[in-house]
Amino acid sequence: MSRKTKPVEENYPAYELEVLAIIEALKKWRIYLLGIKFKIITDCNAFTMTLRRNDIPPKIARWALFLQDFNYEIEHRAGTRMAHVDALSRVYCLMLEDSLKYQLKQAQLKDEWTKAVRKILEKDEFEDFYVKYDILFKNPEKELIVVPVLMEDEIIRMAHRQGHFSIRKTQDILEKTFFIPQANAKVGKIVRSCIECIVNESKSGKKEGFLNTINKEDKPLGTYHIDHVGPLETTGKSYNFILVVVDAFSKFVWLYPTKNTGTEAVVERLKKQAAIFGNPKRIISDRGTAFTSNLFKEYCQEEKIQHLLITTGVPRGNGQVERMHKVVVPMLSKLCTETPTNWYKHIDRVQQFINNTPPRSTKQSPFKILTGLDMRMAKMPELQELLDDEAVGELNEDRELVRKQAMENISQIQQENRRSYNLRRRKETGYELNDLVAIKRTQFGSGLKLKPKFLGPYRIVKKFNHGRYEVEKVGDHEGPGKTSTVAEYMKRWTNSFGANEIRTAECSAGCRVTNN
């Protein structure tokens, strides 16, 4: 371990710095040293003598109290016997650099390509390669060390680990010191295989995986989507959850209040439902414990039901029931605002109205798709209003999503058009107020082909953004008295038009511009 001294610590006497180094080391490795006996070896004899004194400075006294937590002994060793420790603060970095250069030199001598280049350089020049300090370099201005094949991966990793940068930045770091042929592909391979980057960085770009629809039969009651909603307010009957079952084809919904999310409660409700509607061919659920237990597996096997589990963290695989949560919960919360614990009393009515309301996907009510009949039920305007509100909310969500996607598409097209358009353009000329300019003739007709393409002079009276101006006519000449134009359609009224015209244009607006 090592660290730089703080500004205050730079003024410490030598023996205090020695003590500070020991204290910092003990703080660093405290969890490993507590409870064991160890030895502190130092070449500072003043430190060993100071701890034996009766009157020691307050700072050293605090450190001495900290040392009392440990079982240690101090051994003094002469500086001549501590050269290996002193090297860490004196020549270690230089040794590391020399070691790297030595490795590069030895690897170059073993590499066939670098050996061939060095052999050519013994007799003649070869591109911008040269040998310096017995090492092959490239580009005398940048002095890039040629990296042999055997060390390419090591050098690239060394550059990448300076900050675990992207491929481009890692390559920029490399190109300041080293030359590696076809570096881009090699850097990409190393960076993409970096474990630290793989486990710590989020994936960028588009999310992987397309939306795959679930194949449905042309008959209802073949596929069920099931899930739990909750925990909700505990009712007088100890209900906390709702088991939601959705028929994939008809969108028919069953809502069952339950006391927990256990498998027993799920199987019990499914058996009651099977007594009326029979068993489905398959059930789709998440990986909750109620659906991954052996009991649920045995139930599906006994009833010949295929059980499909969605991928963890991808709720869209069970999207039909997830969407139903957003309908059921708001409706219940609005119906039992005053007595939240009575939500279970409204379950049947909510289920009834949902099954009598046509979803946008089928355009027919789930009840009619399932039975072929229209449901007979008492009118409850308040429930219908709530359900309509949820339907409007769903429509608004989809509409906002479509608008957002459209806006993103529009922005993308705008950027692409802007790039391609600007390739054929240059920056507009800047003009200031009261500048005299000529403006392009924008109206053409018969007999005007030989007329001047620009009119003027005009004086700039207003300046707007993006190179737009308002100008007024100076003198008596052809053209509108006051108009707006853009820099693209303007020219400076300069000597190229003639000195007499400039002098005449500078008179009052009532003067006539004459051509001599």
Helix, strand, coil shares of the chain as percentages rounded to 5? 45, 15, 35
Instruction: Give the DSSP H or E segment for 456.
Output: strand 454-463
The reported pLDDT for the residue numbered 472 is 92
Average pLDDT over residues 195-219: 59
Give the residue with greater pLDDT, 179 vs 377: 179
Asked if the 436-505 domain carries CATH number 2.60.40, the reply is no
Closest to 167 (Cα-Cα) out of 147, 144, 184: 184
**Mean pLDDT within 435-456:** 75
Q: In the predicted model, is pLDDT for residue 239 greater than 70?
A: yes
- Please tell me the least confidently modeled range out of 50-54, 113-117, 320-324: 50-54
**What is d(CA 151, CA 99) in angstroms, rounded to the nearest whole number?**
13
* pLDDT value at residue 311: 63
Longest CA–CA span in the chain (Å) reads 115
* pLDDT for residue 461: 92
Question: What's the pLDDT at 477?
Answer: 80
Which class is 100-198 in CATH? mainly alpha
* pLDDT score at 509: 36
Q: What is the pLDDT of residue 77?
A: 75
| Mean pLDDT calculated for residue range 431-435 | 89
Give domain limits for the chain. 9-89, 100-198, 223-377, 389-425, 436-505
> What is the structure's pLDDT at 320?
77
pLDDT at 231 over 80: yes
Alpha-carbon gap, residue 435 to 457, rounded angstroms: 10
Residue 447 confidence (pLDDT) above 80:
no
What's the pLDDT at 78?
A: 75
Inform me whether the pLDDT recorded for 397 exceeds 80: no
Interstrand relation of 241-247 and 144-146 (parallel, antiparallel or unpaired) = unpaired
Q: Which of 13-17, 121-125, 196-200 shows the lowest per-residue confidence on average (mean pLDDT)?
A: 196-200
> What does the pLDDT read at residue 493?
77
pLDDT higher than threshold 80 for residue 146:
yes
Distance CA 63, CA 72 (A): 14
d(CA 472, CA 493): 14
Mean pLDDT in residue range 63-83 = 77
Query: In this model, does residue 480 exceed pLDDT 50?
Result: yes
What integer is the mean pLDDT of 400-415? 48
- Beta-carbon-side half-sphere exposure of residue 260 (alpha carbons within 13 Å): 6
Q: Which residue has the higher pLDDT, 42 or 444?
A: 42
Q: Which residues have C-beta within 8 Å of that of residue 134, sequence separation ≥ 6?
A: 105
Q: Give the tens place of pLDDT for each residue, 312-346.
A: 655 666 777 888 888 888 888 877 777 878 888 88
Question: What is the predicted pLDDT for the residue at 402?
Answer: 37
Q: What whole-number distance in Å separates Cα of residue 375 and Cα of residue 369?
A: 11
Is the pLDDT reported for residue 300 higher than 70?
A: yes
pLDDT band at 498, cuts 50/70/90? very low
Q: According to CATH, what is the number of the domain 223-377? A: 3.30.420.10
Q: What is the pLDDT of residue 295?
A: 92
The least confident of 33-37, 88-92, 295-299, 448-452 is 88-92
- pLDDT at res. 168: 86
Give the pLDDT band of residue 48 (cuts 50, 70, 90): low
- Edge to edge, the sheet with strand 454-463 lists 482-486, 468-473, 454-463, 436-440, 490-492
Work out the pLDDT band at 504, boundaries 50, 70, 90.
very low
- What lies within 8 Å, CB to CB, of 511 at 6+ separation is 475, 476, 504
Q: With 80 as the cut, is the pLDDT of residue 369 above it?
A: no
Residue 323: per-residue pLDDT: 80
Q: What's the confidence (pLDDT) of residue 158?
A: 85
What average pLDDT score do residues 278-295 get? Answer: 88
**Cα-based angle 75, 77, 79 (whole degrees, multiple of 5):** 150
Angle at 271 between CA 266 and CA 273, to 5 degrees: 95
Give how far the C-alpha of residue 300 lies from the chain's centroid of Cα atoms, to the nearest Å.
Answer: 42
